[in-house]
Chain A
Amino acid sequence: KAGVTQTPRYLIKTRGQQVTLSCSPISGHRSVSWYQQTPGQGLQFLFEYFSETQRNKGNFPGRFSGRQFSNSRSEMNVSTLELGDSALYLCASSRGSGYTFGSGTRLTVV
């Protein structure tokens, strides 16, 4: 059974650019959540999508956006990147209350 797949695994971007990260959930999982994790920090919730609709949203600026497709795959976009956006971005999928995480995308902004 395939797990949650995040691409790319690593990414280096320049300040001011925009970036799109992808997440393919476990088959049958309709909920996809995104988190930001900076070194030594916990998981900061970005947003959650369920059946192509944003169901929950964290306290991040509007530069962070996401969407979910009909096959439950999800993307998140960060526009006008800042140095502070450097982090591990994790997505997690769920069919109920237990969430399965991908390995994350390590974004470095230079």
Chain B
Amino acid sequence: GQQLNQSPQSMFIQEGEDVSMNCTSSSIFNTWLWYKQDPGEGPVLLIALYKAGELTSNGRLTAQFGITRKDSFLNISASIPSDVGIYFCAGQHMDSNYQLIWGAGTKLIIKP
């Protein structure tokens, strides 16, 4: 099925560094969602975006709904060990019949 292009696939970072990841699509989306998944658990919703250009923060996390409506970005500032996990973007476009389209995930690993 259709997938979003999510990058990078994985990231090795030092504790305290800022992190950026993004998702792009060939279709126009009307909703973007960012999730985090810890090992062996279900994904947890971090941030939801509903308007083009919208910038939303959740603690050290900030996400933006791209102005073209075809992309979204997630930034994590001053990373800490508990940020380790897999981050997924997901979106809905007008023709998706409410179905979520998912990115393949970005695995965040913090170097000791």
Q: How many A-B residue pairs have CB under 8 A?
A: 59
Q: How many angstroms between the C-alpha atoms of A39 and B96 in the bound complex?
A: 27
Task: Specify which of A4, A43, A104 is in contact with B88 (CB 8 Å cutoff).
Answer: A43
Interface centre among B42, B43, B102, B103 (most CB of A within 10 A): B42
Contact between B40 and A88 (Cβ–Cβ < 8 Å)? yes
Contact between B98 and A48 (Cβ–Cβ < 8 Å)? yes
Interface residues of B in 57-104 (CB under 8 A from A): 88, 90, 92, 97-100, 102-104
Task: Specify which of A31, A42, A56, A101 is in contact with B3 (CB 8 Å cutoff).
Answer: A42
Contacts of B103 in A (CB 8 A): 42
Contact between A56 and B88 (Cβ–Cβ < 8 Å)? no
Contacts of A41 in B (CB 8 A): 104
Contact between A42 and B42 (Cβ–Cβ < 8 Å)? no
Which of A11-19, A75-83, A92-100 touches B? Answer: A92-100
Chain B residues within 8 Å of A, Cβ to Cβ: 1, 3, 31, 33, 35, 40-45, 48, 50, 88, 90, 92, 97-100, 102-105
Chain A residues within 8 Å of B, Cβ to Cβ: 4, 31, 33, 41-43, 45, 48, 50, 55-56, 58-59, 88, 90, 92, 97-104, 106
